[in-house]
Amino acid sequence: MHIYIYDTFVSQKKNNSTIIKIETRITDLGLNGKIVRLSMLSSLGEVIQNEIKKGAKTITVVGNNNIFHNAINVLAYLKSLKQIKADIPLGFIPFGKENNSLALGLGLNMEEAACDTISARRIKTFDLAQANDHYFLAEALISSKGTSVNIDKNYSIEIMGQGEIGIVNLPILSKLPKEIGSNGEDGVLELFIKTKEGNKFLSFPNKNIKQSIFSFKDLTINNKTKKVLLDQTIEIAPPLKINISTEKINLIISKGLIF
Amino acid sequence: MFNKENEQINIKEAETIIGPSIKVKGNFHGQGNIIIEGFVEGSIKTDKFLLIGDKSKITANIEAKDAKIGGEVNGNVNVSGYLEINASAKIKGDIKASQISVMRGAQLNGQIIMGKNEEKK
């Protein structure tokens, strides 16, 4: 059975007409299933767990980055507990104009148009990265200020300029040089450091951005004041151990997605 | 200066790039091409190509298949293939390489051992 889980904000009255269009399109495509509307009191984790126990074949979430990121976390967590089969795919119908960068990066269409992607059912398996107990699909970001990084317990990295540190699994938010070959399927993560070099001879900051790239499997990151932003969705405080998770995720993606 | 065309090819194929604002401490071992424009303390090892840029400062023993050195190196350099030393290079340490070229202006302080480079077992 197809399960559609609507995020809390999706069920607001102002969204009724869009929801009707999505549901009509789903019916037209023969993808009818059960609709679960999340409320302030309901838990996405419990909903997904219950529906899988009842025999869900596909979980599709309707909302923005938040519900998509959370659904990935729930599915990965349940897989780690051996509570579900590894092959249940996750669909995503992006909804609303804000906070949908993951959908944009994955090349998904919005709202009603996304139903055709679900119908085409192109399923791809991606690695997941893990930061302590949190899973993420795309990237983790933190300011370089005050951040220390240790890679594979072999060496540490000190960043002398101000900038940003990205740990990239799937390069759909931060674009890495193509030559690096990061694709979310290779079992390694990329550490990407962007620093802006100051220039004392100019009255404005030098816009020349210097980049550093390292591939790794295991990294620890620490910062006493700054937090790490996962998938542009949730902030968590270091220290963090970041590595490729043993769990993977099956996503229903657009045909046009090319890395 | 390094051949710009060659340098561009190497940058495209680099697995690791250490930028000018980055300092790496520890044993930095890679399997792909490495470009260093920053600072490294410890050891560097790669099975492929190593490029040490003109402004980089390395305090480490170096092992690579092929290498181009343009910066400051304090440590032994062990290259199984071809080593190219740029005019701006300052190397304090012993150098082993099968083939070597040194540009005018480079500063080398240490032994240079040429010929087939047998790996220690």
**Across-strand partners of A235?**
A229
Q: Are B36 and B51 a contacting pair, CB within 8 Å?
A: yes
Q: What is the pLDDT of residue A105?
A: 87
DSSP A134-158: EEESSEEEEESTT-EEEETTTEEEE
Q: Between chains, do A213 and B14 touch, taking CB under 8 Å as contact?
A: yes
CA distances from B41 to A136, B56, B67 (A): 32, 11, 18
Sign, Cα dihedral of A213, A214, A215, A221:
negative
Q: What angle do CA B16, A149, A227 make, to 5 degrees?
A: 120
Q: In this predicted complex, what is the ipTM?
A: 0.81
| Identity at A118, one-letter amino acid code | I
B22 interfaces chain A, CB cutoff of 8 Å: yes
Q: Considering only alpha carbons, which residue of chain A is nearest residue B36?
A: A212
Helix then strand then coil, % of chain A, to nearest 5? 25, 35, 40
**Distance between A128 CA and the closest CA of chain B, angstroms:** 21
Task: Using an 8 Å CB-CB cutoff, list chain A residues near B21.
Answer: 159-161, 163, 195, 197, 210, 212
| Out of B15, B19, B23, closest to residue A158 by CB | B23
B55 interfaces chain A, CB cutoff of 8 Å: no
Q: Between chains, do A211 and B19 touch, taking CB under 8 Å as contact?
A: yes
CA distances from B97 to B53, B87, B88, B108, B114 (A): 19, 18, 19, 14, 5
**Distance between A208 CA and the closest CA of chain B, angstroms:** 12
CA distances from A84 to A1, A2, A49, A155 (A): 15, 16, 8, 38
Give dist(CA A259, CA B16) in Å, integer. 19
pLDDT by residue for chain A (259 residues), tens digit each? 899 999 999 999 999 999 999 999 999 999 999 999 999 888 999 999 999 999 898 999 999 999 999 999 999 999 998 877 657 899 999 999 889 999 988 888 899 889 988 888 889 999 999 999 999 999 999 998 889 999 888 899 988 878 899 999 998 887 766 656 677 888 889 998 887 654 333 333 334 446 788 888 889 999 999 999 999 999 999 999 999 999 999 999 877 665 5
Chain A residues contacting B, CB < 8 Å? 154-161, 163, 179-180, 193, 195, 197, 210-215
Q: Between chains, do A212 and B22 touch, taking CB under 8 Å as contact?
A: yes
Whole-model pTM: value is 0.84
B14 interfaces chain A, CB cutoff of 8 Å: yes
| Out of A155, A161, A163, closest to residue B26 by CB | A155
Residue A24: count of CB within 10 angstroms of its CB: 12
pLDDT along chain B (121 residues), means of 10: 46 75 90 91 94 94 96 97 96 96 96 72 40
Q: What is the pLDDT of residue A177?
A: 64
Q: Between chains, do B21 and A197 touch, taking CB under 8 Å as contact?
A: yes
Q: Between chains, do B24 and A159 touch, taking CB under 8 Å as contact?
A: no
**Distance between A225 CA and the closest CA of chain B, angstroms:** 21
